[in-house]
Structure 1
């Protein structure tokens, strides 16, 4: 059993005055990585170059017991804020510190459209970390992978299946006929559990279970609301097969949830909610039996201009 402790950290906004602390953490963290070719640009930083980078928009510094343990530099570019020199002291890694830094960066980038990072493709664990924090690859220019996280996304952290159902139940209160939800997440991530909460919130006839063997199920409303159409697109060969599903309802009169629907179900509507479920912590950060999830809900299209993300986070 993994007993790694999650550290309580205090993340503070900083400017050029903290260049010395930032440089020390950056050198320790980047210097402990495997050798790269070409070497990381961060290893050529000096206190002066760090101070210049901090002068425009500042950065973040995380403290544990008043000791600086992690840092990053905020670099706005257009509608995005790039996270530069993201670093955690080697002996404080795998304790949830990096996770706390990302959350603080989201808050610091208020008013911008998204966050962007550049990761080295030779470091797949680093790329996976960013993906678990809600970032998705948008470009690859060897040796760099560019990943971006939209800030319009509502992010909720759920501790267990009960909390996952509760999140689905809260979202159901904002749904109406014709709405489409596209769910992604690895096997066992909680997609069906989330949909069970939706069904409870919509007041449909249950039970809501995985539709794997029947591809799609229709759950009639018991309260005069929209039906719930629950689709498993894992075994579908393409959009045509999705269109050809023999459903006893019109999708314009139902709330439709498509599991494994990314890249397939988007054509069903010009507006949708993309719901992505991932493990919140890496294996190294898990403590005891806990295995929390991050649920990222991204509205796409004109239908969702009035969606209240605050009620979901």
Structure 2
């Protein structure tokens, strides 16, 4: 994912071969955005008050785009979804989150929200919130699955909020190793790290930096064919257990490696662990590495998300700084 001023922010291929892309909205998109808002919100069940979004007109949508930020999702060349953001009462808020009825249940909303949250994180935002109407518990549940939790009430709505990941721009492999070395400074025995990213994104390179920072025996290479490698410490400190879950399809298969035996005394890093390794511990550090759309650009964006009471966002942000 490129997270700069480029027109296209992210792209993904759907199972049927169509391409889902996300880009920022411009004022020229206001009319199409208005049509999408009305179509998406008219299709929702009628419960309680009429949605405020149906009162939007061209001028109000144009003003939102001019003074806030809009993001559009396309399937091939057809507009499919929209999210608006704006700062309100000192907080960054999402609003007008909608997907055309014919494109629902295809992952458009989840992908669009993921891109928007990462774009906001890369811009330095630390927290984001939204309003979910109390009459729609299923919508509150959907946002809950995306990391949002109730944070208060506002009229007939629940305020839902979440912290954003720490975003780090990494220009090359040397910088990726350096980031890993800095992160090792906040890791301790018992920590679980789950690293995700496409092939060649830099997961093993980051792990090499973590291994160097922990001071463990090497070399640290991808354990694809042996599933896991244990790197003992060369001095005081925890071992590094390096796991590759690429060929594992479930937590049950991961349990066969018997990682629990070494978990408390080691730092355990699982590549390709999303959706597989979360059951190993209540607290974990999620590391998501994104490549740019341009294949000639080596820049990566690394997103650090601490899950559970063990992790402090401020601690991760401090470790992410090059002068940390």
Verify same fold: TM over 0.5: yes
1:14-54 Cα distance to aligned partner (Å, 9 max, x none): xxxxxxxxxxx744135689x97976899x74335655x69
How does 1:45-124 map onto structure 2 within 5 Å?
45-47=57-59, 59=68, 73-74=85-86, 76=88, 81-82=93-94, 102-103=119-120, 106-107=123-124, 113-114=127-128
- Stretches of structure 1 lacking an aligned partner (at least 5 in a row): 1-5, 9-24, 62-71, 86-97, 117-135, 140-147
SS in 1 for 2:315: coil
- Residues 70-96 of structure 1 show CA distances to partners (whole Å, capped at 9, x for unaligned) of xx65065998611669xxxxxxxxxxx
Structure 1 residue aligned with 2:29: 29
3-state SS in 1 of match to 2:174: helix
Q: Distance in 2 between matches of 1:154 and 1:255?
A: 20
What is aligned with 1:311?
319
1:190 paired with 2:202, answer yes
For residues 292 and 178 of structure 1, the distance between their equivalents in structure 2, rounded to whole angstroms, comes to: 31
**CA distance in 1 between partners of 2:174 and 2:87 (Å):** 39
| CA distances 1:91-134 after superposition (whole Å, capped 9, x unpaired) | xxxxxxx99x9459954x55xx3367xxxxxxxxxxxxxxxxxx
- Secondary structure of the structure 2 residue equivalent to 1:304: coil
Q: What residue number does 1:158 align with?
A: 170
Which residue, out of 166, 181, 197, partners 2:193? 181
**Cα distance, 1:304 vs. partner?**
1.1
The Cα RMSD (Å) is 4.3
Give yes or no for the alignment of 1:238 onto 2:250: yes
Distance, in Å, in 2 between the alignment partners of 1:7 and 1:75 is 19
- Whose relative contact order is higher, 1 or 2, with alpha carbons under 8 Å and at least 6 apart? 1
Alpha-carbon deviation of 1:149?
10
* Aligned mates of 2:240, 2:121 — CA distance in 1: 37
Q: Distance in 2 between matches of 1:79 and 1:32?
A: 27
Q: Which residue of 2 aligns with 1:282?
A: 293
Q: Deviations over 1:247-295 (max 9, x none)?
A: 696210000000111111111111100111111x323xx6xx3231111
Distance, in Å, in 2 between the alignment partners of 1:295 and 1:216 is 23
Aligned partner of residue 201 in structure 1, secondary structure: helix
Structure 1 position 186, deviation (Å):
1.2
Look up the SS of the partner of 2:210 in the other structure: helix
TM-score (norm 2): 0.58
Over 3 Å counting, the alpha-carbon distance change for 1:207 and 1:277 in structure 2 is: same
* Aligned mate of 1:295, from 280, 302, 318: 302
Corresponding residue for residue 215 of structure 1 = 227
d(CA) in 1 for partners of 2:275, 2:207? 20
User: CA, structure 1 residues 77+241, in 2 after alignment: closer, same or farther (shift >3 Å)?
Assistant: farther
Q: Distance in 2 between matches of 1:236 and 1:78?
A: 44
- Match of 1:29, SS? helix
Residues 141-179 of structure 1 deviation map (CA, whole Å, 9 limit, x = unaligned): xxxxxxx99544111011111111111110001111000
1:60–1:105 contact (8 Å) kept in structure 2: no
Structure 2 residue matching 1:295: 3-state secondary structure: strand
Q: Please list every run of 5 or more consecutive structure 2 residues that lacks an aligned counterpart in the other structure.
A: 7-24, 42-52, 71-83, 98-114, 131-143, 148-159
Alignment: residue pair count: 231
Scaled by the length of structure 1, the TM-score of the pair is 0.60
Answer whether contact 1:75 1:83 (CA < 8 A) is retained.
Answer: no
Are the counterparts in 2 of residues 271 and 303 from structure 1 also a CA contact under 8 Å?
yes
